[in-house]
């Protein structure tokens, strides 16, 4: 080339050619750099992605485990039903968003087109139930109650029903064996949400889009155990999904069964008797309000003393948990959650809180002994007790002379406790508390486990409240602004209370202390707390964490994880004091306020202990409380706006004991009728094929009704307190403290 | 090579030079060819045939049940391309200079034919003429050559004649007018990728021609303005907008418009340093990357040959461009310089766009990778271009 002479190429062109060359090579360098970045620096990331790319998962959902009673009777299991589902993604592809298809479907299923359309719409803040709360990519169940004929129609006319499937599917069944509904304890399921899928994505138990998740009760607490693990088969596929090979197959692992300590038969009795007691209470006249008792809610807990296990737990009003299966209807949802529903979803045994009234008195009794008072000394029980012009009376203003603390428990003498609480309040410094204030009465309540959740294996338990100085201070700080706004010195009762509260609502006044000592004022407890306390007294002083779950057994019965009873504390009483309190509570059942309910009871064979309570609630009728225990069991029952403790709850509790031990009202023992004279020890056997040996259950046949006159009459001394006038200052908040107030 | 030839004394004892000896002679045509350029082009075409083979051997719907279908056709296309190169060298670019108006006219007619019922639509662009027998033509490939030749002829005429130092404004304007009809038609197809390449060719041609800076900057400015206008006025088809959107955010719609780029990047990224080995890439075997034998052929190299193999392709393209730059600089007449510069701009931008889109740094446009991608029209055009480069290097006088 050197032989070719250079022509008159201008420098402009030469420079431009150099520029062009530089540009060209910088482009190539850019590509090289990017190639290095993708292949070398981030290569691993893309290698992983490529792996996922050509693997397709086929998911086999796991069958949810059953919830069993103590003997293996299924309380919740699965049944195969014809489920008709609609694929939203398919419907949305149609011109009319699938309206025509849904209308045809409604016609076949004998449902209104609106109901069908509502069921497949997606839930959001503005959309009321029914709506689909699960993933929009998952077929949405329209009904799980399709008949075979309806399913056949849909499947044979597939061209008329694009995106609609009718498949036999395992759906949850709440069988209510022997009419033991157990609704609030079991809880319910609803579809998994996208948010939950995202959250559990990297956990060891991720959700499938088709999963149902336990939303309350045992279904929620033991959701992980019950859910099992879906089977995943991984196929290597090409871009068209044609299978090239099998990569990995994990078999579906069915969910484990949860064995509970619930006995379906006892549960059925408890539910029946609770409802019956409430019905009876509604027939009784309340002379304070001049109407019949409303008996708007109630709960009963049957607990094993030595383990804290729950044998039965009933809450009323109740509902049929099967309403949730296959998507809840709008009507059902309103009936369960609406303003006028009285909230049957609430488990009042753990979520209802109320002032305990006199069943609280075992706590001030123990507190008094710990504060140095002699149990057996004589304490005056006048008809009333005055503090600075305020008069606190006994129930029906009756005096009992000088009695021991045991006697005070037996006859439920309020004035004994008023005097002791007042003395202690003064000793602690009154409204200006000392630094080392002992606060015996409050401290003891905390030691009995009040003011916080018991820790039962059911979700959303409420803590109740011990209205001690710390609480008063916190409560005042939270509410003083509202009180000061509302309060009027010369206004009506409520305004006066607000005025006083505004000024010094943070101070523990003598009246507060005195009211608290008999389980009134701002004191709040749940039935499960009281059952746990009485079970602890029944077993010699050990507080257990109440539990419903007893064991988790794998579907093939091979792996058993027992849920051992847990001790959460000791009652702050000595063995000697325990013996005295135990004797006094036996006295209540034999001579005292509960004796009339235990006529004919074989006390020598099965010693019965009891305490009645009738708590006042501002603006409402009295709350009935009845706490009892034998050697093995304790039963606590309460009825909101139900009347007196022994009057409203007494007969029901007696009948539950009758059923447990095989007794009738006269005390006659029939071993064949005894449901559970001793707590169930052995776990049910689950066969390798998953079948469960469970005894058959006969429905509960209640004894023929006694004469109604007898049921409602009874001795007056029932342990009801009247708190006089403005002394009931806590009453300003009482309306909030009713049983249905705690959501 | 020349040094080795010196060592031999074959010529001295050969009274009559044989045909082979003639070719091997120091000043022979063959010896004076740019061998690095030629060998790189052959290597690229050869690698291309393997990649095309790997990408199509499982695609039963495309290859008519014959796993070698595309492999042989790619080799055939390469052979035809090679013959076209030889023909181009034999004719010489100077001879062709006279035929440019005819060639140009032919190419415009071919492009126009696409708009008649002869045309066919592939991947949203109505840019093909189906000949039959499985053959189809993409005339826009040929217009790339005729635009280069046409513009070079006009721009260089008076400079090479010694009348001017640089082409004047009127000449530049005339040259630009050469490019307008084909661009207009290609835009109607619409084949946005080819329009972009032609725009780059024009820029390269004007740069090398020594046209005033005002033209260069003016055209770049006009291009930017035009792009903005097109975007604002919504002159693009939806699929084109989607391609750009997917480029900006590949996660946007991984099953839809972002699918190509996503799968392409996975394929390349998973190759690592050495690759999975030919025929062993799961992305390629599973056919996850669409258009893998044509526009996305580079992903096969990335996955199966790894960084070394894909880097080798970049290197070979670099050699081609380096030699082309040398040829552009060393030729004595402006005509040859302009033609070479046009080819450089064409090869460089088309390679950058094609590989860049598979690497996710350029938006998706339907452009083949020179030499490597399957496709007759493109293969023929790039080999003709190689012929032109060789001819410029040889600086042969006109034969006719």
pLDDT grade for B230, boundaries at 50, 70 and 90 = confident
Contact B307, A39 (CB under 8 A): yes
Query: Measured between CB atoms, which of A14, A34, A49 is closest to B266?
Result: A49
Taking the C-alpha atoms of residue A541 and residue A574, their distance in angstroms, rounded to an integer, is 9
CA B195, B200, B203, B209 torsion-angle sign: negative
Q: Among A77, A73, A545, A78, which residue's Cα sits nearest to residue A263?
A: A73
pLDDT tens digit sequence for A171-228: 889 989 999 999 999 999 988 887 888 887 777 667 777 778 899 999 999 998 998 8
Mean pLDDT of the A269-273 span: 96
pLDDT the model gives residue A206 = 72
Interchain proximity A12–B265, CB inside 8 Å:
no
On whether residue A250 sits in a domain, the answer given is yes
What residues in A contact B268, CB-CB < 8 Å?
A: 35, 38-39, 46
State chain A's mean pLDDT as an integer.
Answer: 85
pLDDT the model gives residue B18 = 67
Closest-CA residue in chain B for A7? B332
What residues in A contact B307, CB-CB < 8 Å?
A: 35-36, 39-40
**A-contacting residues of B 65-104, CB under 8 Å?**
none
On whether residue A181 sits in a domain, the answer given is yes
pLDDT the model gives residue A563 = 94
Higher-pLDDT residue of B371, A436: B371
Helices (H) and strands (E) in chain A, counts: 24, 25
Mean pLDDT of the A667-674 span: 90
pLDDT the model gives residue A269 = 96
Of A229-243, A344-358, A517-531, B244-258, the range with the lowest mean pLDDT is: B244-258
pLDDT the model gives residue B280 = 83
Taking the C-alpha atoms of residue A186 and residue A223, their distance in angstroms, rounded to an integer, is 11
Mean pLDDT of the A472-485 span: 89
Are β-strands A243-250 and A231-237 bridged in parallel, bridged antiparallel, or unpaired?
antiparallel
Contacts of residue B93, Cβ cutoff 8 Å, sequence gap at least 6: B335, B336, B339, B388, B391, B392
Higher-pLDDT residue of A167, A375: A375
In total, how many domains does chain A have?
1
Interchain proximity B288–A34, CB inside 8 Å:
no
Residue of B61, B282, B301, B313 to mutate when probing chain A, most A C-beta within 10 A: B282
What's the burial of B180, exposed, middle or buried (CB within 10 Å: 0-12/13-18/19+)? exposed
Question: What's chain B look like in SS3?
Answer: CHHHHHHCCCHHHCCCCCHHHHHHCCCCHHHHCCHHHHHHHHHHHHHHHHHHHHHHCCCHHHHCCCCCHHHHHHHHHHHHHHHHHHHHHHHCHHHHHHHHHHHHHHHHHHHHHHCCCCEEEECCEEEEEEEECCEEECCHHHHHHHHHHHHHHHHHHHHHCCCCCCCCHHHHHHHHHHHHHHHHHHHHCCCHHHHHHHHHHHHHHHHHHCCCHHHHHHHHHHHHHHHHHHHHHCCCCHHHHHHHHHHHCCCCCCCCCCHHHHHHHHHHHCCCCCCCCCCCCHHHHCCCCCCCCCCCHHHHHHHHHHHHHHHHHHHHHHHHHHHHHHHHHHCCCHHHHHHHHHHHHHHHHHHHHHHHHHCCCCCCCCCCCCCCCCCHHHHHHHHHHHHHHHHHHHCCCCCC
Of A174-178, A640-644, B197-201, B231-235, the range with the lowest mean pLDDT is: B231-235
Taking the C-alpha atoms of residue A525 and residue A445, their distance in angstroms, rounded to an integer, is 11
Closest-CA residue in chain A for B352? A27
pLDDT the model gives residue B37 = 96
pLDDT the model gives residue A9 = 66
pLDDT the model gives residue A696 = 86
Element (H, E) at A550: strand A549-553
Closest-CA residue in chain B for A44? B270
Mean pLDDT of the B189-209 span: 91
* CB contact B395 to A (< 8 Å): yes
Contacts of residue A11, Cβ cutoff 8 Å, sequence gap at least 6: none
pLDDT tens digit sequence for A20-53: 999 999 999 999 999 999 999 888 888 877 776 6
Mean pLDDT of the A690-696 span: 84
* pLDDT > 90 in chain A, percent: 49
| Residue B3 confidence (pLDDT) above 70 | no
What residues in A contact B361, CB-CB < 8 Å?
A: 30, 34
* CB contact B118 to A (< 8 Å): no
| Residue A4 confidence (pLDDT) above 50 | no
On whether residue A243 sits in a domain, the answer given is yes
> Taking the CA of residue B149 as centre, how many other CA atoms within 13 Å lie in the half-sphere pointing to its CB?
27
Are β-strands A623-629 and B135-137 bridged in parallel, bridged antiparallel, or unpaired?
unpaired
Domain harbouring A202, CATH code: 3.90.1310.10
Interchain proximity B266–A21, CB inside 8 Å:
no
Per DSSP (E only), the strands in A46-200 are 55-60, 67-68, 74-86, 140-143, 164-173, 189-191
Query: Measured between CB atoms, which of B166, B307, B329 is closest to A36?
Result: B307
Taking the C-alpha atoms of residue A459 and residue A346, their distance in angstroms, rounded to an integer, is 11
pLDDT the model gives residue A184 = 95
Contact A459, A216 (CB under 8 A): yes
Closest-CA residue in chain B for A25? B318
pLDDT the model gives residue A605 = 93
What residues in A contact B343, CB-CB < 8 Å?
A: none
Closest-CA residue in chain B for A1? B330
* CB contact B359 to A (< 8 Å): yes
Are β-strands A67-68 and A257-260 bridged in parallel, bridged antiparallel, or unpaired?
parallel
Query: Measured between CB atoms, which of B266, B322, B359 is closest to A53?
Result: B266
Query: Measured between CB atoms, which of B322, B348, B361 is closest to A34?
Result: B361
**A-contacting residues of B 233-292, CB under 8 Å?**
263, 265-273, 282-283, 285-288
pLDDT tens digit sequence for B274-291: 988 888 887 777 777 878
| Residue A731 confidence (pLDDT) above 50 | no
pLDDT the model gives residue B328 = 93
Mean pLDDT of the A233-244 span: 63
Contact B300, B292 (CB under 8 A): yes
Element (H, E) at A19: helix A11-36
Q: Among A170, A300, A333, A390, which residue's Cα sits nearest to residue A634?
A: A300
pLDDT grade for A431, boundaries at 50, 70 and 90 = confident
pLDDT tens digit sequence for A97-137: 888 889 889 988 888 888 888 888 887 777 777 788 776 76
Taking the C-alpha atoms of residue B140 and residue A404, their distance in angstroms, rounded to an integer, is 112
On whether residue A319 sits in a domain, the answer given is no
Nearest C-alpha of chain B: how many angstroms from A323?
Answer: 39
What residues in B contact A38, CB-CB < 8 Å?
A: 265, 268-269, 302, 359-360
Interchain proximity B359–A27, CB inside 8 Å:
no
On whether residue A681 sits in a domain, the answer given is no
pLDDT tens digit sequence for B29-44: 788 899 999 999 999 9
Closest-CA residue in chain B for A6? B332
Where does residue A160 fall: left (phi above 0), alpha (psi -120 to 50 degrees), or beta otherwise?
alpha
| Residue A692 confidence (pLDDT) above 70 | yes
pLDDT tens digit sequence for B323-353: 999 999 998 889 999 999 999 999 999 999 9
On whether residue A172 sits in a domain, the answer given is yes
Interchain proximity A5–B330, CB inside 8 Å:
no
Query: Measured between CB atoms, which of A7, A24, A40 is closest to B273?
Result: A40
Residue of A23, A50, A51 to mutate when probing chain B, most B C-beta within 10 A: A50
pLDDT the model gives residue A58 = 63
Q: Please give the residue range of the domain that contains residue A225.
A: 56-260
* CB contact B333 to A (< 8 Å): yes
Of A338-347, A725-734, B379-388, the range with the lowest mean pLDDT is: A725-734
List the alpha helices (DSSP H) in A246-304. Answer: 264-283
Interchain proximity B395–A239, CB inside 8 Å:
no
| Residue B253 confidence (pLDDT) above 70 | no
> Taking the CA of residue A702 as centre, how many other CA atoms within 13 Å lie in the half-sphere pointing to its CB?
20
pLDDT the model gives residue B6 = 47
DSSP codes of every residue in A329-355: -HHHHHHHHSTTS--TTS-HHHH--B-
| Residue B83 confidence (pLDDT) above 80 | yes
pLDDT grade for B235, boundaries at 50, 70 and 90 = low
Contact A648, A284 (CB under 8 A): yes
* CB contact B332 to A (< 8 Å): yes
Interchain proximity A39–B328, CB inside 8 Å:
no
Interchain proximity A53–B204, CB inside 8 Å:
no
Nearest C-alpha of chain B: how many angstroms from A5?
Answer: 8
pLDDT grade for A716, boundaries at 50, 70 and 90 = very low
So what's the ipTM on this one? 0.90
pLDDT the model gives residue A422 = 94
pLDDT grade for A721, boundaries at 50, 70 and 90 = very low
Distances (CA, A) of A208 to A51, A82, A133, A229: 21, 21, 14, 10
Query: Measured between CB atoms, which of A16, A40, A237 is closest to B208?
Result: A16
Q: Among A566, A16, A508, which residue's Cα sits nearest to residue B204?
A: A16
Residue of B216, B266, B324, B351 to mutate when probing chain A, most A C-beta within 10 A: B266
On whether residue A705 sits in a domain, the answer given is no
What residues in B contact A36, CB-CB < 8 Å?
A: 307
Contact A732, A521 (CB under 8 A): no
| Residue A311 confidence (pLDDT) above 50 | yes
Interchain proximity B166–A47, CB inside 8 Å:
no
Residue of A31, A36, A37, A239 to mutate when probing chain B, most B C-beta within 10 A: A31
On whether residue A276 sits in a domain, the answer given is no
DSSP codes of every residue in A173-185: E---GGG---HHH
Closest-CA residue in chain B for A27? B352
Taking the C-alpha atoms of residue B80 and residue B83, their distance in angstroms, rounded to an integer, is 5
Reported pTM: 0.62
What residues in A contact B267, CB-CB < 8 Å?
A: 50
Taking the C-alpha atoms of residue A728 and residue A730, their distance in angstroms, rounded to an integer, is 5
pLDDT the model gives residue A727 = 37
Contact A354, A617 (CB under 8 A): yes
Q: Give the 3-state secondary structure percentages of chain A, helix then strand then coil, rounded to 5.
A: 40, 20, 40
Q: Among A232, A219, A265, which residue's Cα sits nearest to residue A77?
A: A219
Contact A626, A613 (CB under 8 A): yes
Interchain proximity B210–A12, CB inside 8 Å:
yes
Contact B400, B392 (CB under 8 A): no
Of A347-356, B186-195, B319-328, B384-393, the range with the lowest mean pLDDT is: B186-195
What residues in B contact A9, CB-CB < 8 Å?
A: 332, 334, 337
């Amino acid at each position: 080339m050197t032989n070719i002479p250079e022509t008159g190429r201008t420098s402009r062109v030469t420079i431009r050619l150099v520029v062009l060359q530089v540009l060209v090579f910088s482009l190539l360098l850019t590509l090289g750099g990017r190639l290095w970045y993708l292949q070398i620096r981030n290569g691993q990331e893309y290698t992983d992605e490529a792996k996922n790319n050509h693997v397709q998962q086929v998911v086999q959902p796991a069958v949810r485990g059953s919830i069993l009673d103590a003997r293996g009777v299924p309380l919740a299991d699965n049944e195969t039903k014809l489920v008709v589902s609609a694929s939203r993604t398919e419907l949305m592809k149609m011109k009319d968003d699938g309206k025509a298809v849904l209308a045809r479907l409604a016609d076949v299923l004998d449902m209104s087109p609106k109901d069908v359309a509502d069921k497949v719409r997606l839930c959001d803040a503005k959309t009321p139930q029914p709506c689909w709360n699960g993933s929009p990519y998952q077929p949405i169940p329209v009904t799980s109650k399709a008949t075979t004929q309806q399913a056949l129609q849909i499947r044979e006319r597939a061209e008329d029903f694009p995106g609609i499937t009718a498949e036999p599917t395992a759906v949850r069944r709440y069988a209510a064996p022997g009419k033991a509904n157990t609704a609030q304890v079991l809880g319910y399921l609803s579809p998994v949400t996208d948010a939950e899928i995202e959250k559990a994505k990297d956990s060891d138990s991720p959700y499938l889009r088709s999963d149902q998740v336990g939303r309350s009760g045992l279904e929620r607490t033991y959701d992980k155990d019950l859910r099992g693990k879906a089977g995943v088969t991984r196929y290597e596929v090409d871009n068209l999904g044609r299978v090239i090979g099998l990569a990995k197959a994990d078999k579906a692992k069915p969910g484990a069964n949860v064995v509970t300590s619930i006995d379906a038969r006892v549960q059925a009795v408890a539910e029946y008797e609770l409802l019956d007691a409430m019905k009876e209470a509604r027939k009784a006249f309340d002379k304070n309000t001049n109407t019949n008792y409303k008996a708007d809610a109630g709960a009963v807990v049957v607990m094993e003393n030595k383990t804290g296990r729950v044998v039965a737990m009933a809450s009323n009003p109740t509902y049929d948990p099967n309403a949730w299966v296959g998507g809840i209807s709008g009507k059902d949802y309103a009936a369960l959650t609406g303003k006028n529903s009285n909230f049957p979803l609430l488990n009042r045994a753990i979520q209802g809180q109320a002032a305990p009234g006199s069943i609280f008195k075992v706590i001030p009794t123990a507190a008094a002994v710990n504060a140095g008072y002699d149990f057996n000394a004589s304490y005056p029980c006048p008809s009333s007790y005055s503090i600075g012009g305020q008069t606190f009376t006994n129930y029906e203003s009756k005096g009992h002379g000088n009695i021991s603390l045991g006697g005070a428990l037996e006859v439920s003498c309020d004035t004994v406790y008023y005097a002791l609480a007042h003395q202690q309040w003064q000793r602690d410094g009154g409204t200006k508390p000392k630094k080392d204030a002992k606060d015996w009465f409050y401290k003891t309540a905390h030691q009995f486990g009040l003011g916080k959740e018991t820790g039962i294996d059911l979700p959303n338990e409420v803590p109740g409240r011990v209205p001690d100085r710390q609480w008063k201070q916190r409560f005042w700080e939270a509410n003083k602004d509202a009180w000061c706004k509302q309060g009027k010195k010369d206004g009506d009762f409520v305004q006066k209370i607000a005025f006083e509260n505004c000024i010094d609502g943070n101070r523990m006044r003598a009246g507060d202390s005195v009211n608290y000592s008999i389980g009134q004022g701002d004191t709040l407890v749940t039935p499960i707390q009281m059952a746990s306390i009485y079970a602890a007294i029944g077993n010699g002083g050990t507080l257990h964490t109440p539990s419903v779950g007893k064991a988790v057994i794998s579907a093939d019965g091979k792996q058993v994880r027992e849920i051992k009873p847990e001790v959460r504390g000791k009652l702050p009483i000595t063995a000697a004091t325990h013996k005295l309190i135990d004797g006094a509570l036996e006295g209540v059942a034999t001579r005292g306020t509960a004796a009339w309910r235990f006529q004919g009871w074989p006390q020598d064979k099965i010693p019965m202990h009891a305490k009645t309570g009738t708590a006042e609630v501002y603006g409402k009728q009295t709350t009935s409380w009845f706490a009892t225990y034998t050697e093995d069991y304790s039963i606590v029952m309460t009825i909101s706006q139900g009347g007196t403790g022994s009057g409203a709850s007494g007969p029901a509790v007696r009948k539950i004991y009758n059923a447990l031990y095989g007794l009738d009202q006269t005390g006659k023992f029939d071993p064949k009728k005894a449901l559970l004279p001793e707590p169930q020890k052995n776990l049910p056997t689950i066969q390798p094929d998953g079948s469960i040996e469970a005894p058959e259950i006969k429905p509960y046949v209640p004894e023929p009704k006694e004469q109604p006159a007898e049921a409602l009459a009874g001795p007056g001394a029932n342990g009801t307190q009247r708190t006089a006038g403005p002394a009931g200052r806590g009453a300003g908040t009482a309306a909030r403290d009713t049983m249905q107030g705690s959501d | 090579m020349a040094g080795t030839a010196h060592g031999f004394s074959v010529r001295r004892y050969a009274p009559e030079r044989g045909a082979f000896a003639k070719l091997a002679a120091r000043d022979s045509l063959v010896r004076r060819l740019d061998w690095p350029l030629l060998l790189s082009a052959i290597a690229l075409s050869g690698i291309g045939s393997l990649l095309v083979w790997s990408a199509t051997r499982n695609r039963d719907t495309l290859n008519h049940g014959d796993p070698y279908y595309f492999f042989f056709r790619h080799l055939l296309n390469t052979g035809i391309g090679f013959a076209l190169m030889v023909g181009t060298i034999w004719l010489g670019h100077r001879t062709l200079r006279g035929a440019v108006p005819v060639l140009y006219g032919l190419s415009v007619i071919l492009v126009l034919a696409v708009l008649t019922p002869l045309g066919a639509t592939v991947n949203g662009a109505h840019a093909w003429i189906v000949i039959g027998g499985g053959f189809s033509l993409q005339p826009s490939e040929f217009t790339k050559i005729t635009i280069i030749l046409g513009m070079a002829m006009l721009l260089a005429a008076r400079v090479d004649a010694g009348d001017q130092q640089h082409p004047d404004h009127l000449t530049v304007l005339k040259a630009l007018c050469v490019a307008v009809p084909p661009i207009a038609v290609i835009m109607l197809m619409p084949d946005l990728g080819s329009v972009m390449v032609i725009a780059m060719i024009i820029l390269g041609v004007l740069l090398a021609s020594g046209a005033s800076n005002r033209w260069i900057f003016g055209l770049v400015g006009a291009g930017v303005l035009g792009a903005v206008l097109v975007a604002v006025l919504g002159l693009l088809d939806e699929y084109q907008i989607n391609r750009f959107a997917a480029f900006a955010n590949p996660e946007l719609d991984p099953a839809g418009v972002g699918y190509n780029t996503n799968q392409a990047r996975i394929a390349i990224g998973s190759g690592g340093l050495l690759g999975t080995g030919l025929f062993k890439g799961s992305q390629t075997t599973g056919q996850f990357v669409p258009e893998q034998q044509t526009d996305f052929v580079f992903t096969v190299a990335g996955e199966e040959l790894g960084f070394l193999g894909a880097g080798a392709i970049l290197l070979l393209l670099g050699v081609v461009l380096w030699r082309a730059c040398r040829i552009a600089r060393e030729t004595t007449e402006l005509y040859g310089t302009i033609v070479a510069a046009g080819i450089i701009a064409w090869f460089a931008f088309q390679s950058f766009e094609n590989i860049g889109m598979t690497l996710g740094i350029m938006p998706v446009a339907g452009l083949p990778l020179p030499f490597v991608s399957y496709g007759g029209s493109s293969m023929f055009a790039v080999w003709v271009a190689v012929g032109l480069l060789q001819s410029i290097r040889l600086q042969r006088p006109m034969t006719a």
